[in-house]
Structure 1
Amino acid sequence: MKTVKKGLDSALSWFCVVLFAVLVVDVSWQVFSRQVLNSPSGWSEELAKYVFIWLGLFGSALVFGERGHIYVDFAVRKLPAKIQYVVGLLMQVAILAFASLVLVYGGWQVAQLSWDQKLAGLPIDVGPLYLALPISGVLIIFYTIYHLVAILLRVENAVEDAEPDVL
């Protein structure tokens, strides 16, 4: 599972780098065409919106893989180690439920509902663009299960940077 995670981390990192480069080039073209050519590009604004959304969703999945997401733990750190362990497990289960219900199930529903809708500025349909929701949800689920197993096996701490506890 560790090998799969490393490969996924690498692929997701490169995908986010490519998305960011596309976003930079697209916005640069948008500014150039508006300011220099005095002829704003209609498609570049539409593309920038969707690339930014994809970058945010896949970037957040990557951050979940690194356990770098925002984690307000000042209150949890004051609790005994066993309770920190339980709270850490509960947080992973909550993330798993959210990613499953909202991102995967809800994202799939949205993609299906909008599958044949046309975009005004780009020659593509909206539905395939919304597939970023369930795909990023599946990635977050994978990472959450990976970290949940690692916490259960005591390979990772339940609370970031906490001392490992022994039952």
Structure 2
Amino acid sequence: MKNVVSGLTVFLQWLLIAAMTLLVFDVVWGVLTRYVGGEQASWTEELARFLLIWVALLGGAVAFETKSHLGVDYFVAKFEESVRKSVKLFSHVVVLFFAVSIFIIGGGRVVYDALALDQTTPALGWKMGHIYLAIPIAGFFMTLFTVSNLMETLLSSGHEEPGKVD
């Protein structure tokens, strides 16, 4: 399972690099059209907003796998080593519950409703359900990465280097 997770993490990292590159070009194009052409291209702001949503959600999922999520790892590292494994297990279960209930189930419902109502974006004309797909997709990756980290924590001895949090 670790090989699959590692491969997906690398794929997501490259996808995020591409999305950030596109985001930078989009914002630069918006600025150029505003100051050189006198009027900003109507679609640049909307595209930037949607790219930022996808980057933030997928980046958060990658942060769980690379153990870079400050909100979780910072607090786990504050506990004594003797209770750190229990706190890690608890945090994994909380993240897992949140990812499944809010991101996958709730996000899936948002996508379904937006597609059923045939909502489209004003400038690009895209279906909002496709934009909202970022929520359940990020939830899927958060769930997968958290299950992987949970299994790793369960199989670990509980002793790790000082300052390093799994």
Distance verdict in 2 for CA 1:155–1:60, change over 3 Å: farther
Show the counterpart of 2:39. Answer: 39
Once superposed, what is the RMSD of the aligned Cα atoms?
2.1
Show the counterpart of 2:113. Answer: 113
**Does structure 2 conserve the Cα–Cα contact (< 8 Å) formed by 1:118 and 1:125?**
yes
Show the counterpart of 1:11. Answer: 11
User: How many residue pairs end up in the alignment?
Assistant: 161
**Does structure 2 conserve the Cα–Cα contact (< 8 Å) formed by 1:150 and 1:156?**
no
Amino acid at match of 1:141: T
Report 1:56-71 matches (<5 A).
56-70=56-70, 71=73
Separation of aligned partners in 2, 1:80 and 1:157: 7
Separation of aligned partners in 1, 2:50 and 2:128: 10
Amino acid at match of 1:130: Y
Distance verdict in 2 for CA 1:6–1:141, change over 3 Å: same
Specify which structure has the higher proportion of helix: 2
Which protein, 1 or 2, shows the higher relative CO under an 8 Å CA cutoff with sep ≥ 6? 2
**Does structure 2 conserve the Cα–Cα contact (< 8 Å) formed by 1:99 and 1:140?**
yes
**Does structure 2 conserve the Cα–Cα contact (< 8 Å) formed by 1:111 and 1:130?**
yes
Amino acid at match of 1:101: S
State the identity %: 32
Distance verdict in 2 for CA 1:87–1:126, change over 3 Å: same
TM-score scaled to structure 1, two decimals?
A: 0.89
Show structure 2 runs of 5+ residues with no match.
none
Amino acid at match of 1:121: A
1:55 aligns with 2:61: no
Show the counterpart of 2:126. Answer: 124
Show the counterpart of 2:145. Answer: 143
Show structure 1 runs of 5+ residues with no match.
none
TM-score scaled to structure 2, two decimals?
A: 0.90
Following superposition, the deviation at residue 118 of structure 1 comes to: 1.2
Following superposition, the deviation at residue 9 of structure 1 comes to: 1.1
Separation of aligned partners in 2, 1:2 and 1:108: 26
Secondary structure at 1:46's aligned position in 2? helix
